[in-house]
Structure 1
Amino acid sequence: MSSSWSVEVETKSPAAAVFKATFIDWDKLGPKLIPELITDVTLISGDGFCCGGRTFGRTKLESATPHIKVEPKGNESIVKLTTTYKAIAGAVVAEDIKKGKEGFIKSVKAVEEYLAANPGTYAKKS
């Protein structure tokens, strides 16, 4: 049986900038902003990537599907993550879920701090 968990993070950064930093340039920014969580990012197909470093539930899950959404909230944004997973029978994943949420929040906040320190980097172009 599948289960899921969700987390939402509000940022003071515009949604377009958060999206670009988190998804378009994550291969460069992820390892730079949070090297304790991400050691590298590898493009695995035209529209997907895999991050090296810590892995949620590496041997405890049969499957996991994350869904990330960046929504505008005025000049700010909300980043939402919902992960649907199927744990291996008997596996206890509560601590892994807690670490997954903490890692996601840390990632979004690191992007927010980067954008605040580099305000023109992902500015919307006309």
Structure 2
Amino acid sequence: MGVFTFTMGEFTTTVAPARLFQAFCIDNHNFFPKVVPQFVKSVEVVHGDPTSAGCIKQFNFPEGYPFKYVKDRVEEIDSSKYYVKYTSFEGDVLRDTLECTVFEITFEPSGTGSHYKNIAHFHTKEDNHVMTEENIAGGKENIAKMFKAVEEYLIANPQVYA
């Protein structure tokens, strides 16, 4: 198995890290289908509590999306540091080449807002399979679009997660 690490997104925003963390990590099962239905049709909490390690969520994608679903397991979560580490371990997003993908997301205070960073570790099933920037370009683009949509919604609705 090979491991390939990429920065999937890095953005600075005027939105406070606590609000972004709530939207992206804690309440995404309610928030995403309402705010970014073009990316997430529904989210089911399969196991556990969304605020705790061990929680498993299934993200279902809308019609026309290149994939049907992915299951994620929270490995680490620290609400005081706005940090989450989760593993995508099941679903057609892994295709035939990936064992899993581990994401580490941080929301750090920055000026009057925050800095978002998403690092992904792609674990391939075989050592001879190589992940490249070309392999992940679509994912990076979708993360950027999704971040922008969430940011715009939170700016337009300052009472949400205030």
1:33 aligns with 2:31: no
Kept after mapping to 2: 8 A contact 1:71/1:78: yes
Post-superposition offset of 1:42: 1.6
CA root-mean-square deviation: 2.0
Structure 1: state its 5+ residue gaps.
Answer: none
- CA distance in structure 1 between the aligned counterparts of 2:3 and 2:129, rounded to whole angstroms: 13
Q: Which runs of 4+ in 1 moved over 6 A?
A: none
1:110 corresponds in structure 2 to: 149
Q: Distance in 2 between matches of 1:91 and 1:32?
A: 37
| 2-structure distance, mates of 1:77, 1:2 | 29
Among 64, 73, 76, which residue is 2:110 paired with? 73
Question: What is the Cα deviation at residue 60 of structure 1?
Answer: 2.5
Going from structure 1 to structure 2, the CA distance change for 1:78 and 1:50 (only over 3 Å counts) comes to: farther
Conserved? CA contact 1:41–1:50, under 8 Å? yes
Match of 1:18 in 2: 20
- Over the matched positions of the two proteins, sequence identity in percent amounts to 32
- CA distance in structure 2 between the partners assigned to 1:37 and 1:91 by the alignment: 28
Distance 1:40 1:52 in 2: 5
Q: With the length of structure 1 as denominator, give the TM-score of the two structures.
A: 0.83
User: For structure 1, which segment, 32-41 or 43-52, has the greater mean C-alpha deviation from structure 2 after superposition?
Assistant: 43-52
Q: Which deviates more from structure 2 when the two are superposed, residues 33-42 or residues 89-98?
A: 89-98
1:22 deviates by 1.4
Higher relative contact order (CA 8 A, sep 6+): 1
Distance 1:41 1:75 in 2: 31
Query: Which one has a larger percent helix, Structure 1 or Structure 2?
Result: 1
Measure, in 2, the Cα distance between the counterparts of 1:42 and 1:93.
Answer: 29
Question: Relative to structure 2, which stretch is displaced further, 80-89 or 110-119?
Answer: 80-89
